[in-house]
Structure 1
Amino acid sequence: MSFGDPSPFAECVRAAGAVLIVQVTDLDEARQAVDLGADVIVAQGTESGGHGARQGRSTLPFVPVVVDLAAPVPVLAAGGIADGRGVAAALALGAAGALVGTRFQATTEALVDPSTAKAIVEGHGGDTERNRVLDIARGSRWPSKYTARTLGHPYLDRWRGREAELAGDPRARQDYQRDVAQGNIPSLPVWAGEAIDLIKDLPSAADLVATLAAQAEDALTRAGRR
């Protein structure tokens, strides 16, 4: 669970016999997850693609703080991890593992439009930015605490820095829906994290997992020799 108060749902998850995994974007959320008895906590840094905290913290300093706060609950690091070196870094920070998002959008099994996978493979971290523009234009009612990191988009260029104006302009939102219907703009934003530069191919998910594990092992071995 993520992006909101997990309290009303925690018991339902447990009653279903499922593992209670709670993603957190700040220390208040992390404390709440611990108090709820989360089985696993995901510490999401601001480098992550898609939705996350508007005023969060970077993965590198955030993860070890959550690890210390949550111990002995296992913590997964999320945000800016797209290869085995990132996984190794997460382990070095004390995390039990990594939650990898954007990298798995660029796999053969990913349920995304081919244009999304292509944009991710060709994109750069500097092309991503956190914004609320596309949520507002799509009529997606996310709390103001959360923004979404996406690749560039025509409406983002048009409305950057004018979120309140866009929210109060129903005609602009209608124009967005019309442009989507006419195929003038993509139907969905390309949610992508800052580590997108590391994504250069479209492997199968199984091959990617094996590659991540091998790269992480190599990185940890190299670090151990120094």
Structure 2
Amino acid sequence: MLRTPFCELLGVEFPIVQAGMGPFGSGSELAAAVSNAGALGTLGGAVRSAEDLRQQLALLRSMTDRPFAVNFTQPWLQQHPESFEIALELHSPVISLALGEPGDLPARAHAGDALFIQQVHTVEQAILAADSGVDVIIAQGSEAGGFGGRISTLALVPQVVDAVGPLPVLAAGGIADGRGLAAALVLGAQGANIGTRFVAAEEASVSDTWKRAIVAAASQDAVKVEVWDDIFDKPGNGAFDVVPRALETSFVEHWQGQRSVAAAERSRLQGEIMAAIQQQNMERFVPFTGQSAGLIADIRPARDIVRSLVEEARAALKGTSRLDDEKPRYE
């Protein structure tokens, strides 16, 4: 068995969450496949029109009768509050939030019979989230793909566990196999939130080019895209200070070295990136990917990924239990 109190709370078999990655891979097909495999699948709700969100949720409902989450970002909900209402209206069992303070969203989720998961990047953010009444906290380390902070997973997770316990904490960032899941549990987390490994799933809605790039990448190929802050305004109103991590492309390499020019041409570059998101060819620009890419060697069905995570974690924990538990003899 590989069960934690998180599993009981969420009604899932395994302590694994497929990360909410906006429109980048986390559509209804992937979310349903992960949930049907016994973990918690997530539909990326940010950067979706109201009509698309309704359609994706209806499709997801038709593909699984197991728990799933809908993920939003705080800046998106600031501009599109109707998205949150749609998630509640369509009875999403779990709502998760990233990139900013939750405010009254946990209470509103609870009023709609939904659980609320909050992603954080610092201990201070975790305490704020706990005080806001969230049900689960994701402590995301800087290794993660997409938007993240500056503190590594190994340092962040145990601090958050200590700060907000007994509230369930999930580890995120740099986890792509069962050894990482086992390490998260040893750090005191009750499971793992995993993104990049599921971007390289057969059911993920990104292009095969993006998936193959993940398989071919080394960890050092996933870089912090600092120029993003020169192209886009920093969101305010409780948003977290984050910078995206992505595979280095010719676009990233070029503009990272010309940040002042990028700032001067920000309107044009914003348009190019937003068009890439809409046209689903973001792999040419900023393909969000974590350092765990170096651990990923193939493109597999989501069900197989979940099974491997569980089997490898069990083996790793069993191996750890064989260590000599005699008291050490110090000189």
TM-score (structure 1 length as normaliser) = 0.88
Gaps of 5+ in 1: none
Letter of the 2:210 partner, please give it.
Answer: T
Superposition map of 1:90-129 within 5 A? 90-129=184-223
Match of 1:203 among 289, 297, 300: 300
Partner SS state of residue 41, structure 1? strand
Partner SS state of residue 201, structure 1? coil
Are the structure 2 counterparts of residues 5 and 69 from structure 1 closer, same or farther at C-alpha, using a change threshold of 3 Å?
A: same
Q: Matches of 1:93 and 1:113 in 2, distance apart?
A: 35
Match of 1:64 among 151, 155, 158: 158
Post-superposition shift, 1:217? 0.5
Post-superposition shift, 1:197? 1.1
Match of 1:189 among 286, 290, 315: 286
Post-superposition shift, 1:82? 0.4
Q: How many residues align?
A: 224
Post-superposition shift, 1:173? 2.1
Superposition map of 1:1-226 within 5 A? 1-53=97-149, 56-134=150-228, 137=231, 145-170=241-266, 173=269, 176=272, 186=283, 188-226=285-323
Which structure ranks higher in relative contact order (CA pairs < 8 Å, sequence separation ≥ 6)?
1
Post-superposition shift, 1:205? 0.7
Post-superposition shift, 1:11? 2.2
Are the structure 2 counterparts of residues 174 and 3 from structure 1 closer, same or farther at C-alpha, using a change threshold of 3 Å?
A: closer
Post-superposition shift, 1:171? 6.7
Gaps of 5+ in 2: 1-96, 324-331
Are the structure 2 counterparts of residues 139 and 153 from structure 1 closer, same or farther at C-alpha, using a change threshold of 3 Å?
A: farther
Post-superposition shift, 1:135? 6.7
Q: Deviations over 1:58-89 (max 9, x none)?
A: 10011011001111100000000000000000
Letter of the 2:311 partner, please give it.
Answer: A
Q: Matches of 1:10 and 1:105 in 2, distance apart?
A: 28
Contact in 2 for aligned 1:75/1:95 (Cα 8 Å): yes
Post-superposition shift, 1:42? 0.2
Q: Deviations over 1:123-143 (max 9, x none)?
A: 110111111435755789696
Contact in 2 for aligned 1:137/1:172 (Cα 8 Å): no
